[in-house]
Structure 1
Amino acid sequence: MTQIKLHAYFKQWMELYKKDAVREVTYAKYKLTHRNLQRLVPDLTLDELSRLAYQQLLNDYAKTHERQTVLDFHRHIRSSLIDALEEQLIHRDPTRKAIIKGTQQRKHKTKFLNQFELQAVLNNLVLDEGLNWDYFILLIAKTGLRFSEALGLTPGDFDFAHQYVTINKTWDYKSIESGFAPTKNKSSVRKVPLDWQTVIQFSQLTKKMAVDEPIFVKDKKVYNDTLNHYLERLCKRSGVSIISIHGLRHTHASLLLYAGVSVASVARRLGHANMTTTQSTYLHVIQELENQDNDKVMKHLASLV
């Protein structure tokens, strides 16, 4: 056993195994775990780390965090302690049978709008002042792109003749040094068909721009919160429920499903790795549509008598 402090060991472990091995945004979460260890157990050493001490650490963290956040905190620490066990720095796994608690889950914002609510928002967009954030909102509403995917678009990604936009990169808005980054996964690389109105609008807006420069990101850094607050004000002005920018993606997918578009087609359009992701995310919509289908089936069967 060793008297090295838990937070010091975790810092050494994450710098050795995680730095430059995971995405910067993921590594930032490990650094947050380290800061919380320093705050909660500044003097706890590995040789003092019993199951009781570890459970108390989780309980203290859970007082101000939701269960999922506590679970992530636990997974980070446990991964480091499994290595400590293999290195014989500790002789028993203090995380065994740990109980994950947490505060009551907060009420989250509405995930999506219905067709009439979305139309009310779109009616309040200002689209006669050149390329602005209103066009950004319009594009996500019509394509279902992720926030980072829309930020990463360049004029060269649009094929106006064939009416589609190619998604093959994102904009890493979370890093200090922003720039282009890979897509979330291989399935995220895709061609998203565009309606003729969007084609006309963006062909005019981008015709004088450099083909390889992002159309929405200019000199200053872009923050997700800034756009969410902008959309919040727009929703209030439109008299509809407040949603986030990501909620526009949910709105897009939900409206397609209600319109009768197959789950497989929606999954491809959203860039989901598989249909299971789409089905689990929009289970409430699919179940509602299944109930409507059941009514149709019963009416059809009744007509055969």
Structure 2
Amino acid sequence: MASFQKRKDKWQYTVSRVINGKSKPIRKSGFLTKKEAMVAAAEVEASLAKGILPILKKIPFAHYFKKWIELYKEPKVSNTTLKHYQYSLKAVEDYFFDTPIQNIKKMDYQKFLNNFGSNKAKETVAKVNGHIKSCIKDAIDDQIIQIDFTRNAQVTWTVQAKKPIEKHLNYEESKQLLNSIYNKLNDNSGLGYYLLLLGLTSGLRFGELVGLTRNDFDFAKNTIRVNKTWGYKSSAPTGFGATKNEQSMRVIKMDGLTMDYFKKLFISLPTNIHQLVFFSPSSKYKVISNTNANKLLKKLLDELNIESITVHGLRHTHASVLLYKKASIHYVSERLGHSDIETTLKQYTHVLTELRIQDEKITVDTFENMAGVNIDFIA
């Protein structure tokens, strides 16, 4: 039962509450009218009736989101991934300012997404929305809020992201590139070609490639261990760093030809203090730069009259080739070091759609051939 008192020119409510036999009332003052105090008290009583401890102090959404990132994400994600969360945090800070998380309604959040997506690509808006949804789920679990204002929110965008098909080579183009790289290596060309070879045949991220050391190569088993990265840009930590996520710590099986080329390379390759494979003493970050690797790849593709892609596109090419050759989506996801299979499904929908058409034909042909029924007789 609530009671109300006027103190000077403001109203205060007192809601009775007993904990372990002791009276512990909830009080709050500062209301301009008695009616405002009565409405607020009714909300508190409704929360207590549901077994929910009411949050009397308003918490700015940006402040809660920042603390959530520091507690749940900062200790376990890579610096690169952490920057994505910090990007999302800035979007929240810029739009909501000091707005309490308890005051945000579904319409408010949709307006935020619409505003944010007014000059962004779908992938960017979806990532920010995903970060916020995870945060809000925990806010509900913590009883900070009771309603999920992100539920059924619509991601809106205006900038068209580059089509997936433009990010990778098809199977025939991949064959041409691979043979071109081997020709360059047979002519004793530079270390950059080895990086391109490994990018295509392993599917590693660039930071994983330049983070490889001699000890990561097991020539007896034809495997490569991935358990670290190397900082090759200003936003990354200097030297060795952690992998993108826990699933990125992996050992991948390699083809014998690629491993033979590296086995021969290690015989003549000068050693360095870090035992890095792609060490470059003249480079700012002491490894082959992403810029130079992209230039070398463009040069090769131009020679083959193939539309240019980036070195990261070799990773997409690797995955697309495996899927085209009917490797399972679960294996491809594990090989790429994705955090979950949903990431793989999302990135390679275009390839899976193409394969579905093939699978449908296989299904139809299989059961027609199994039947052994005289088709003319049925007709």
Q: Structure 2: how far apart are the matches of 1:126 and 1:52?
A: 58
SS class of match (1:63): helix
Q: Which residue, 300, 303, 310 being the options, matches 1:234?
A: 300
Q: 1:140 to 1:163 in 2, by over 3 A?
A: farther
Q: Secondary structure at the match of 2:119?
A: coil
Q: 1:286 to 1:146 in 2, by over 3 A?
A: farther
Q: Greater shift after overlay, 283-292 or 260-269?
A: 260-269
CA distance in 2, matches of 1:217, 1:200: 20
Q: 1:290 to 1:215 in 2, by over 3 A?
A: same
Aligned length: 301
1:52 shift after superposition: 2.4
Q: CA deviation at 1:154?
A: 2.3
Q: Which residue of 2 aligns with 1:176?
A: 237
Residue in 1 that maps onto 2:126: 71
Structure 1 residues 64 and 226, CA, compared in 2 at 3 Å: closer, same or farther?
farther
Amino acid corresponding to residue 293 of structure 2 in structure 1: L
**Distance in 1 of aligned mates of 2:327 and 2:134:** 40
Instruction: Give distance in 2, aligned partners of 1:275 and 1:85.
Output: 27
Cα distance, 1:61 vs structure 2: 0.9
The alpha-carbon deviation at position 192 of structure 1 amounts to 1.7
Q: CA deviation at 1:283?
A: 1.9
RMSD: 4.3
Amino acid at match of 1:171: T
Equivalent of 1:32 in 87, 91, 115: 87
- Residue 191 (str. 1) matches residue 253 (str. 2): yes
Q: Is this contact kept in 1: 2:199–2:315, CA < 8 A?
A: yes
Q: Which runs of 5+ in 1 are unaligned?
A: none
Does residue 5 (structure 1) correspond to residue 60 (structure 2)? The answer is yes
3-state secondary structure, aligned to 1:185: helix
Distance 1:268 1:299, change over 3 A: same
What do residues 125-178 of structure 1 show as CA deviations (whole Å, max 9, x unaligned)? 744456421221123334444434432332233344x47232242424462223
1:14-29 superposed matches below 5 A: 14-29=69-84
Larger relative strand fraction: 2
Change in 2 beyond 3 A, CA 1:166/1:268? farther
Indicate conservation of the 8 Å contact 1:130/1:205, yes or no.
no
| Structure 1 counterpart of 2:262, from 180, 198, 202 | 202
Would the aligned equivalents of 1:254 and 1:285 in 2 still touch at CA under 8 Å?
A: no
SS of the residue 1:56 aligns to: helix
Query: Could you say what secondary structure the match of 2:107 adopts?
Result: helix
Q: 2:194 aligns with which of 135, 159, 167?
A: 135
Question: Which residue number corresponds to residue 244 of structure 1?
Answer: 310
Which residue of 1 is the match for residue 10 of structure 2? none
CA contact (8 A) 2:217 2:223 kept: yes
Distance 1:117 1:82, change over 3 A: closer
Q: CA deviation at 1:189?
A: 1.6
Please tell me whether the aligned partners of residues 3 and 46 of structure 1 are also in contact (alpha carbons under 8 angstroms): yes
Question: Partner of 1:167 in structure 2?
Answer: 225
Q: 1:167 to 1:297 in 2, by over 3 A?
A: same
Return 5+ residue gaps in structure 2 as ranges: 1-55, 375-379
Contact 1:30–1:76 under 8 Å retained in 2: yes
- What CA distance in whole angstroms lies between the structure 2 residues aligned with 1:20 and 1:210? 34
Larger radius of gyration: 2
| C-alpha distance in structure 2 between counterparts of 1:262 and 1:11, whole Å | 40
When structure 1 is superposed on structure 2, of 265-274 and 133-142 the one drifting more is: 265-274
When the two structures are superposed, what TM-score results if normalisation uses the length of structure 2? 0.61
Instruction: Say whether 1:111 aligns with 2:168.
Output: yes
CA contact (8 A) 2:123 2:161 kept: no
What is the alpha-carbon distance in structure 2 between the residues aligned to residue 228 and residue 57 of structure 1?
Answer: 37
Q: Which amino acid aligns with 1:201?
A: Y
Q: How far, CA to CA, are the matches of 2:130 and 2:343 in structure 1? A: 23
Question: AA paired with 1:42?
Answer: F
* Letter of the structure 1 residue corresponding to residue 307 of structure 2: S
Report deviation, 1:187: 8.2
**Cα pair distance change 1:170/1:304, threshold 3 Å:** farther
Runs of 4+ in 1 over 6 A off after TM superposition: 272-280, 294-305
State the shift of 1:83 in Å. 4.3
Greater RCO (CA < 8 Å, at least 6 residues apart) = 1
Amino acid corresponding to residue 199 of structure 2 in structure 1: I
